[in-house]
């Protein structure tokens, strides 16, 4: 199983300077490769990453554009992995773009990276560095101090160094043996989980887990720091004699005040993200550790974010991140993760008699069944229906404990009635590594390199 450990680096001033130059090198090489790819495509050629890499290797130490003021090739001061990996990344980006186009999905071609607008990072091959306890020996730098030691035994596949809010992190990908990656469960329950805004998760047991909503809590400070940065940016424009939009290619004079305001805003956003990730990791770990089956709805999160009234609250909870974390943690705890069809009316079905309340509005948080007279909390009722859906569908295959009413009427295992829903076992196909994805402050699931 592929896992990754993200460790903060205690970097010195000289080390931070090298990291910034290496990340800038990776960014500039990406832009060169993308521009050359587009130029060759416009001429009717068929570019590929390997040919571009060979073309770049022929000019990188001699072309004036890649020489310093003394006429020396400054790329020699940066380890070669920083300017070799962007070609593989570009090939992967174009392949993903064409695959999405062929699948009929909305896709964007690779774009140029702008300093300050992209993630500063660069790659390290597994044979170019080594870990020694709470330190790492990196090429061109030597030993750098880490905040903690690598947690995972196994074969190291590679690493990347990236900056977040002024801090540098080393992310190490490890191929962990199966017995080391597995975790034991503390319970064998079957639970349905209804995701929401005010309560991030409502369990079929009736428990409601409130969402911390860190962005909402810090929104006032975010606005204050945004205004501070905006005022300093307007002052820089006035000093440069610019009114309105900044012309393309124009570089404003950099001041210490504007740099400090930008870093303060970045640190606040990083803290918001850490609070959210901490909550989501604890929630998803608990669900997988205490249950042998967890069922959630296959929500259309992208469509939900189109609602301007609810988009900020939905994004502040992180619906899709909950699903993503459950996918890889279910593998580690041997938990069955079930996705209910997104059209399954979990909130509108009476969990006692199965009658469907077709007129239930979104703002109606509780309702009474007209057939059996049962009073329902909307979220708890949905979680109970999801639990029974999972129990009925997988009882025969996995010997799950059967609830008092095995399955909601009209939704028996293997049937897909008009008014009911279907159960689909989740497919463990994690996408490209994105975000921290840490579990217990240090791990996440990585796809194998393709």
- Per-residue pLDDT tens for 30-43? 999 999 999 999 99
Helical H runs in 249-318? 256-290, 301-304, 311-317
**Mean pLDDT score of the chain:** 85
367 versus 332: the higher-pLDDT residue is: 332
Backbone angles phi, psi at 425, to 5 degrees: -60, 140
Q: Give yes or no for residue 71 having a pLDDT over 70.
A: yes
The dihedral through the CA atoms of 39, 40, 43, 46 has a sign that is negative
Q: Give yes or no for residue 428 having a pLDDT over 50.
A: no
Q: Give yes or no for residue 403 having a pLDDT over 70.
A: no
Specify whether the CB–CB gap between 343 and 418 falls below 8 A.
no
Rounded Cα–Cα distance for residues 122 and 9 (Å): 14
For residue 319, give Cα distances in angstroms to 94, 105, 196: 28, 21, 8
Q: Give mean pLDDT, residues 57-72.
A: 93
Q: Give yes or no for residue 411 having a pLDDT over 70.
A: no
Q: What is the pTM of this model?
A: 0.81
Q: Tell me the percentage of the chain whose pLDDT exceeds 90.
A: 59
For residue 216, give Cα distances in angstroms to 194, 226, 283, 311, 315: 21, 15, 20, 12, 11
Interval 105-132: pLDDT, tens: 989 999 999 988 899 999 999 999 999 9
Residue 392 pLDDT: 62
Q: Give mean pLDDT, residues 259-266.
A: 94
3-state class of 375 per DSSP?
A: strand
Element (DSSP H or E) covering residue 96: helix 80-102
Q: Give yes or no for residue 336 having a pLDDT over 50.
A: yes
Q: Give mean pLDDT, residues 382-397.
A: 70
325 versus 440: the higher-pLDDT residue is: 325
Beta bridge partners of 194: 202
Q: Give mean pLDDT, residues 253-260.
A: 90
Q: Give mean pLDDT, residues 73-94.
A: 95
Non-local CB neighbours of 403 within 8 Å, separated by 6+ positions = 190, 387, 388, 391
Q: Print burial letters for 24-58: b (CB count within 10 Å at least 16), e (below 16).
A: bbbbbbbebbbebbeebeeeeeebebeebbebbee
Q: Give mean pLDDT, residues 292-311.
A: 89
Specify whether the CB–CB gap between 39 and 52 falls below 8 A.
no
Q: Tell me the percentage of the chain whose pLDDT exceeds 70.
A: 87
Interval 351-361: pLDDT, tens: 878 788 877 77
430 versus 261: the higher-pLDDT residue is: 261
Rounded Cα–Cα distance for residues 142 and 362 (Å): 59
Q: Sorting pLDDT into bands at 50, 70 and 90, what band is 367? A: confident
The highest-confidence range among 23-27, 175-179, 354-358, by mean pLDDT, is 23-27
Specify whether the CB–CB gap between 283 and 388 falls below 8 A.
no
For residue 348, give Cα distances in angstroms to 161, 342, 358: 48, 13, 6
Q: Give mean pLDDT, residues 189-196.
A: 90
Q: Give yes or no for residue 450 having a pLDDT over 60.
A: no
Which region, left, alpha or beta, applies to residue 16 given φ > 0 means left and ψ of -120 to 50 means alpha? Answer: alpha
Interval 128-162: pLDDT, tens: 999 999 999 999 999 999 999 999 899 999 999 99
Q: Give yes or no for residue 426 having a pLDDT over 50.
A: no
Q: Give yes or no for residue 412 having a pLDDT over 70.
A: no
| Range from 181-195, 238-252, 340-354, 418-432 carrying the lowest mean pLDDT | 418-432
Which region, left, alpha or beta, applies to residue 441 given φ > 0 means left and ψ of -120 to 50 means alpha? Answer: left
């Amino acid at each position: 199983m592929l896992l990754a450990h993200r460790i903060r680096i205690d970097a010195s001033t000289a080390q931070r300077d090298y990291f910034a130059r290496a990340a800038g090198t990776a960014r500039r090489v990406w832009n060169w490769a993308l521009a050359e790819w587009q130029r060759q495509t416009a001429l009717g050629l068929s570019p590929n990453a390997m040919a571009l890499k060979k073309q770049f290797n022929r000019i990188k130490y001699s072309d004036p554009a890649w020489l310093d003021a003394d006429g020396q090739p400054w790329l020699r001061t940066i380890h070669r992995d920083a300017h070799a990996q962007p070609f593989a990344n570009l090939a992967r980006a174009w392949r993903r773009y064409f695959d999405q186009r062929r699948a009929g999905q909305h896709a964007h071609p690779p774009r140029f990276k702008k300093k300050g607008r992209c993630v500063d990072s660069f790659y390290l091959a597994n044979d170019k560095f080594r870990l020694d306890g709470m330190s790492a020996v990196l090429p061109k730098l030597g030993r750098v101090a880490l905040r903690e030691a690598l947690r995972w035994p196994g074969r190291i596949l590679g690493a990347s160094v990236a900056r977040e809010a002024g801090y540098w992190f080393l992310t190490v990908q490890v191929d962990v043996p199966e017995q080391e990656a597995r975790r034991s469960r503390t319970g064998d329950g079957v639970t349905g989980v209804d995701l929401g805004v005010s309560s991030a998760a409502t369990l079929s047991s009736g428990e409601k887990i409130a969402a911390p909503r860190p962005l909402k809590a810090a929104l006032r400070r975010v606005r204050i720091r945004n205004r501070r940065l905006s005022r300093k940016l307007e002052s820089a424009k006035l000093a440069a004699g610019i009114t309105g939009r900044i012309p393309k290619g124009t570089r404003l004079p950099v001041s210490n005040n504007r740099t400090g305001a930008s870093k303060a805003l970045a640190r606040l956003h990083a803290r918001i993200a850490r609070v959210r990730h901490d909550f989501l990791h604890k929630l998803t770990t608990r669900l997988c550790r205490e249950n042998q089956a967890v069922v959630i709805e296959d929500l259309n999160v992208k469509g939900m974010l189109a609602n301007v009234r609810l988009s900020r609250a939905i994004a502040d909870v992180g619906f899709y991140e909950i699903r993503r974390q459950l996918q890889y943690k279910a593998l580690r705890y041997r938990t069955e993760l079930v996705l209910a069809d997104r059209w399954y009316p979990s909130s509108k079905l009476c969990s006692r008699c199965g009658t469907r309340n077709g007129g239930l509005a979104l703002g109606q948080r509780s309702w009474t069944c007209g057939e059996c007279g049962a009073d329902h909390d909307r979220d708890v009722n949905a979680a109970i229906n999801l639990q029974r859906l999972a129990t009925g569908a997988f009882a025969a295959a996995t010997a799950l404990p059967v609830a008092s009413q095995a399955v909601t009427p009209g939704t028996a295992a293997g049937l897909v009635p008009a008014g009911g829903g279907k159960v689909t076992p989740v497919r463990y196909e994690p996408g490209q590594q994105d975000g921290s994805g840490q579990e217990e402050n240090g791990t996440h699931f990585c796809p194998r390199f393709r």
